[in-house]
Amino acid sequence: MADPNVIRVPITKGGKGAVVEVNIGPEGDVPDAVLAEVYLQGLKVLLNRGMSKIATKGLEGEKLAQAQEAAMKVAVANLEKVRKGELRATRAKADGKIPGEVMTEARKLAKAMIKAGMKEAGIKVSHVEPKEITKQANELLADEEVGPEIIAQATEAVKARKEKEETIKVKLKALGAKVPVNAERKAKAEAKSKAAKADGLSAKQAGIALRAKPGTGQPSLRH
């Protein structure tokens, strides 16, 4: 049975699955001298949860004050959840990586959401550097509440697109099968291919050879 006093802390840059086990028990790894800092850093994360949709950058005056007030309401609500023990535990990431095409779609969705939020806040997209929108989109994807929902939407979108592409492919194949084959053109193409294999020529070179004037070795000119 796992020791309840030991927590596994993910190390982001340590590689896939990298963790450091920390004993938080009375005789563990965290002395009283740094306990306040541990609480501060932990509570900073917990109390700032659920604010990904609250944009403050670029705002001024009343709009900025309204956004800040909304953020404080979320923080107070999060503190109440801490008191009641209602905050959900951080979910471990799945071992399997999210497919690149899904992440591309998810990032596109996240950017669209950020732009929609900017519009609501009265900020023009043309007034913001693209890298800032990408940065905010990445933060949105990293949000433990919003991120999984966006990934789920992206997964469904990619799945639907693939199904549509497969349907189109089947229809195109069926349509292609209905196109009548010209016997004369087929015979010429097969002769060209046969000549290419026999002489080690490319298909294009074989075609030129077939059109050459008898005895000259030079291609004839078509009028």
pLDDT of residue 207: 57
198/150 same-domain check: no
pLDDT of residue 108: 93
109/165 same-domain check: yes
Query: Does any domain span residue 57?
Result: no
Confidence of residue 209 (pLDDT cuts 50, 70, 90): low
| pLDDT tens by residue, 40-79 | 888 888 888 888 778 787 888 898 899 899 989 989 998 9
Query: Does any domain span residue 200?
Result: yes
pTM of the complete model: 0.42
115/174 same-domain check: yes
How far, in Å, CA of 64 to CA of 61, rounded?
A: 5
123/161 same-domain check: yes
Domain that holds residue 197: 180-212
Query: Does any domain span residue 189?
Result: yes
Which residue blocks in 48-146 are alpha helix, DSSP H? 61-84, 100-120, 130-142
Using alpha carbons, select from 130, 131, 138, 136 the residue that is nearest to residue 103. 138
Give the number of other CB atoms < 10 A from CB of residue 206.
20
159/192 same-domain check: no
Region 7-22: mean pLDDT is: 80
122/151 same-domain check: yes
131/189 same-domain check: no
Residue 91: pLDDT over 60: no
Query: Does any domain span residue 45?
Result: no
139/117 same-domain check: yes
130/202 same-domain check: no
Rounded to the nearest integer, the mean pLDDT of the chain is 81
| pLDDT tens by residue, 148-186 | 888 888 999 999 898 889 899 888 888 888 888 888 998
CB neighbour burial string for 35-73, b if at least 16 within 10 angstroms, e if fewer? eeeeeeeeeeeebebbbbbbbeeebeeebeeebeeebee
Query: Does any domain span residue 123?
Result: yes
Q: Domain count of the chain?
A: 2
143/200 same-domain check: no
170/191 same-domain check: no
Confidence of residue 32 (pLDDT cuts 50, 70, 90): confident
Query: Does any domain span residue 25?
Result: no
How far, in Å, CA of 155 to CA of 91, rounded?
A: 19
pLDDT of residue 1: 55
Confidence of residue 107 (pLDDT cuts 50, 70, 90): very high
Query: Does any domain span residue 138?
Result: yes
Query: Does any domain span residue 188?
Result: yes
174/148 same-domain check: yes
